[in-house]
Amino acid sequence: MRVLLALGGNALLRRNEPADAGTQRRNIELAAGVVAEIARRHDVMLTHGNGPQVGLLALQSESYDAVPPYPLDVLGAESEGMIGYMLETALRNALPGRDAVTVLTQVVVDPADPAFRHPSKPVGPVYGIEQAESLARERGWAMGPDGDGMRRLVPSPEPLALVELTSLELLVSSGVLLVCAGGGGIPVAADETGALRGVEAVVDKDLTAALLARRLGAEVLVMLTDVDSVRLGYGTEAEEPLGRTTPARLRREEFEAGSIGPKVEAACRFVEAGGRRAAIGELARAAEVLEGDAGTQVIAPD
């Protein structure tokens, strides 16, 4: 069975953990062990989040003021290469003799996407109010509240196409364990001649995962994170875990946009487009989530 596994950024760098390379490497080695267990029995493609890592890179870039901070497409590429390298090495060690390849993946977005008029995705460090207001004036950044401070808000446009799709298909058909489209991919737009340029945006990683799964012919899309399932009424006395469900059932509910919401939307899109099944669950129970014995299972109605 061809499976796309999407690892959440918080599954690779857990909440409140130090963001040093050693911590990330240890977490990635644990994740690679879980992925390897599945890859021994199925054709696996792998993508991943990069939120904590991009935040760290943005903070590091801000700390050196001799040059302007690197744009988001470049930071995204840096994080995709860094995480991909660690995953690739760990996967090769866990699966001796198996090829694992990381592809920096560009994702085409529409420069006329309404998201560019309404930045909503928080990135980078938390600033004090005065510094945030100064940066907003100097750089034209949109800023939004985050706890006692403020963070930069950037557009999160819809992923439309994968630039490297032909190469990705070739690698998958050759039996390579493919790591690609990390962090939602590197956002690019085409001009009137078809030339590509990077844009200041962050593509939602789960929506890109759904697009990638459809384009590469995955039968099942599995989104792995640090929660065990989708929950109705999250944080209330009426909280209820969802097991087996349908896109229509999920679309009657509201889910937090900055958390489980994009995963739910990605699962619905994949199944509505003809995918056999989408699942959302905990990284530590990935094999059970794939088999339908854990997590939230999203299927088309009979």
Residues taking part in catalysis: 9-10, 121, 205, 263
Question: What are the start-end ranges of the E strands in 118-269?
Answer: 121-127, 142-146, 149-154, 161-162, 177-180, 186-190, 196-198, 220-225, 231-232, 240-241, 244-245
Q: Which residues pair with 222 in a beta bridge?
A: 5, 279
Distance CA 123, CA 211 (A): 23
Distance of CA 286 to the CA centre of its chain: 17
Q: Are the C-beta atoms of 271 and 223 separated by less than 8 Å?
A: no
Q: Is the dihedral of CA 63, 68, 72, 74 positive or negative?
A: negative
Q: How far is CA 212 from CA 83, 172, 276, 290, in A?
A: 18, 12, 15, 18
Question: What are the start-end ranges of the E strands in the chain?
Answer: 2-7, 43-48, 100-103, 106-108, 121-127, 142-146, 149-154, 161-162, 177-180, 186-190, 196-198, 220-225, 231-232, 240-241, 244-245, 277-282, 296-299
Q: Are the C-beta atoms of 230 and 241 separated by less than 8 Å?
A: yes
Q: Are the C-beta atoms of 146 and 14 separated by less than 8 Å?
A: no
99 Cβ partners below 8 Å, 6+ apart?
A: 92, 174, 175, 176, 177
Written as six digits, the tokens of 23 are: 């911590």
Distance of CA 10 to the CA centre of its chain: 10
